[in-house]
């Protein structure tokens, strides 16, 4: 456009020179023919008309030149601005991408370092407290919030300055996180309400008639209590083995104490007698295996006992038979089986 303007100006200059040279002498009438002017001096009128025409031509050319130059300058400015803006936008986009990538990498590195440190600490302690788990959770949430905030700010800046591009490809999946520590045991639940009371059951069938039982009769010298007869031998003292044999000859056995009621009866009877002995044999013993006390009557284990404090102690490693001892209110004591003591027989 500038070249065209230059050509026009050059042409205008040539025309001005030609007109000036033509009208400078008396032969102007031969250079420009003006047939309408006939009565005036021809050379003078031709020169005036050429000057006016030259002036008009200059103004016309200047007008077109100004318009052309203005349009060319505007186009040039617009082109320069477009290129400058595009370059600035490209640089801004590149800077934003680099900043975002660097920040993301820094956060990932920081998180990875913190996770590794906490993992090492976890391996040392083999467990992690609920407070530490809570702190790590807060840290992860904070980092996630900062990332989301940064992404939002970058996206807003891009939308203001640059048109939004196409959506990028989906990134690779992240590495799986470390296994968390076991949670604390929960509090016991509330006790449930009582269920609805069931309906009363129907009446059961009548049982069959039982066998007749003969009423227990105890022989002379035997004492009846509940369902057994007892013989208390206070005068003729014997070893535990001899006392056992004597009870069998009488049709019974060395007494077997089944419960506290029976034990109470035996103690009460012995203490009430005027010849209360220092001790009396009963049928319990651990002759076959140490500390495994059984009843001589049926070789069954003891289901009830009333040992004196510190007993049985198998003193001198020679105490395998059980007696009721006066010095401890007739509580039980293990003693040497060869000692001669009073004894109690029982028969059913």
Q: Between 265 and 58, where is the model more confident?
A: 265
Cα distances from 296 to residues 237, 314, 322, in angstroms, run 19, 19, 11
Question: What's the confidence (pLDDT) of residue 19?
Answer: 44
Q: Show Cβ contacts of residue 15 under 8 Å, excluding neighbours closer than 6 positions.
A: 54, 57
Q: Is the separation of the CB atoms in 322 and 293 below 8 Å?
A: yes
Please give the DSSP secondary-structure letter assigned to residue 149: H
- Give me the domains of the chain, ranges plus CATH numbers: 1-162 (no CATH), 223-347 (3.10.100.10)
* Distance of alpha carbon 273 from alpha carbon 276, whole angstroms: 5
Q: Is 292 left (phi over 0), alpha (psi -120 to 50) or beta?
A: beta
pTM: 0.42
Mean pLDDT of 246-269: 97
Mean pLDDT of 89-116: 76
Sign of the alpha-carbon torsion through 279, 282, 287, 291 = negative
- Span 129-172, pLDDT tens digits: 667 667 777 876 777 777 777 777 767 765 665 454 567 788 78
Considering 100-109, 145-154, 206-215, 317-326, the range whose residues carry the highest mean pLDDT is 317-326
């Amino acid at each position: 456009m500038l070249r065209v303007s230059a050509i026009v100006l050059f042409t205008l200059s040539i025309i001005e020179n030609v007109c000036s040279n033509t009208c400078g002498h008396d032969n102007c009438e031969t250079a420009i023919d003006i047939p309408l002017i006939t009565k005036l001096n021809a050379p003078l009128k031709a020169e005036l008309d050429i000057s006016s025409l030259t002036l008009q031509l200059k103004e016309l050319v200047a007008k077109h030149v100004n318009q052309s130059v203005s349009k060319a300058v505007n186009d040039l400015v617009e082109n320069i601005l477009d290129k400058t803006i595009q370059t600035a936008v490209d640089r801004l986009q590149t800077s934003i991408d680099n900043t975002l990538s660097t920040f993301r990498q820094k956060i990932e590195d920081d998180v990875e370092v913190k996770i590794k440190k906490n993992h090492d600490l976890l391996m040392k302690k083999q467990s992690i407290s609920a407070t530490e788990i809570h702190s790590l959770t807060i840290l992860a949430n904070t980092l996630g919030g900062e990332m989301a905030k940064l992404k939002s700010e970058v996206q807003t800046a891009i939308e203001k300055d640059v048109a939004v591009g196409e959506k990028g490809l989906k990134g690779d999946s992240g590495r799986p996180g470390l296994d968390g520590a076991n949670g604390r045991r929960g509090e016991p639940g509330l006790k449930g309400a009582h269920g609805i009371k069931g309906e009363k059951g129907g009446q059961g069938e009548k049982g069959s008639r039982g066998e007749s039982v003969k009423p227990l009769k105890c022989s002379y010298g035997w004492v009846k209590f509940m369902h057994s007869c007892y013989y208390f031998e206070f005068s003729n003292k014997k070893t535990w083995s001899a006392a056992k044999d004597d009870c069998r000859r009488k049709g019974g056995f060395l007494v077997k104490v089944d419960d506290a009621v029976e034990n109470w009866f035996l103690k009460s009877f012995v203490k009430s007698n005027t010849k209360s002995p220092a001790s009396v044999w009963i049928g319990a013993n651990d002759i076959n295996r140490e500390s495994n006390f059984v009843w001589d009557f049926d070789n069954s284990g003891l289901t009830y006992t009333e040992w004196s404090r510190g007993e049985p102690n198998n003193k001198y490693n020679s105490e395998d038979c059980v007696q009721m001892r006066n010095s401890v209110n007739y509580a039980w004591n293990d003693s040497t089986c060869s000692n001669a003591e009073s004894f109690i027989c029982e028969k059913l």
